[in-house]
Amino acid sequence: MTDEYLRVLDPLGQVIPNVYALGDCATIREHELPQTAQVANQQAIWLRKALNKLAKNPEKSFTDVTQPFNFQNFGSMAYIGNWEAVVDMTKINEKAKESGRLAWVFWRSSYLTMSVSIRNKMLIPMYWFMTWVFGRDVSSFQVYDKRKRFLNGVEGPEQL
Ligand SMILES: Cc1cc2nc3c(=O)[nH]c(=O)nc-3n(C[C@H](O)[C@H](O)[C@H](O)COP(=O)(O)OP(=O)(O)OC[C@H]3O[C@@H](n4cnc5c(N)ncnc54)[C@H](O)[C@@H]3O)c2cc1C
């Protein structure tokens, strides 16, 4: 739990000095936000700027150098299967709403352009291509008891 400056609070609700939390592992007191990359990314950028300002003005307090964190919702995108997606960016422009194949192209392009390193920008299309050619990697977990008998009804290895 943090305050609106992303400062971690102790169980009594008091600020713990110089300890910050953001992203999925944190929640702002009385201002819960969704656990999405959009939130984590904005918090990280905000905290980086705030800490740099504090470093340049060490005589000031953290709350003097920055405003509280404020989330800007730029919209949502989701893949819905069959090379189609939905995009809702009406927070930016009320006409920015799309679904289907075009939305899928936009969704994929966004992921690619927002990936940070050149390494990932090259790796991600390669993985997309491999998934397209060979299909998704699938893992199967099977639980069996001491007699090596699968609990889901299938015989154990020694009976096969
Ligand atoms: C299947 C799935 C789909 C998602 N799709 C979307 C989406 O479409 N759009 C969206 O906005 N969000 C999506 N999210 C949510 C998004 O991934 C998270 O909100 C975002 O990654 C949170 O960022 P984070 O930095 O807080 O945590 P993470 O990205 O989880 O980063 C935490 C890092 O800390 C590392 N770590 C953990 N413990 C330790 C340790 N003890 N020591 C050192 N390192 C450690 C982990 O390995 C990890 O790299 C999705 C999440 C999942 C699981």
> How much is the pLDDT for 92?
73
Residue nearest to atom 52 of ligand 1 (CA): 36
In whole angstroms, give the CA distance from residue 74 to residue 41. 12
> How much is the pLDDT for 11?
95
At 26-68, the pLDDT tens digits run 999 999 999 998 999 999 999 999 999 999 999 999 999 999 9
Q: How confident is the model at residue 160 (pLDDT cuts 50, 70, 90)?
A: very low
- Nearest atom in ligand 1 to the alpha carbon of residue 78 is 8
Average pLDDT rounded to a whole number, residues 82-89: 90
How close is the Cα of 43 to the center of ligand 1, in Å? 14
In whole angstroms, give the CA distance from residue 2 to residue 20. 8
Instruction: Tell me which H or E stretch contains 145.
Output: none
Q: Locate 120 and state its tokens.
A: 């990932």
- Nearest atom in ligand 1 to the alpha carbon of residue 23 is 26
Predicted structure pTM score: 0.78
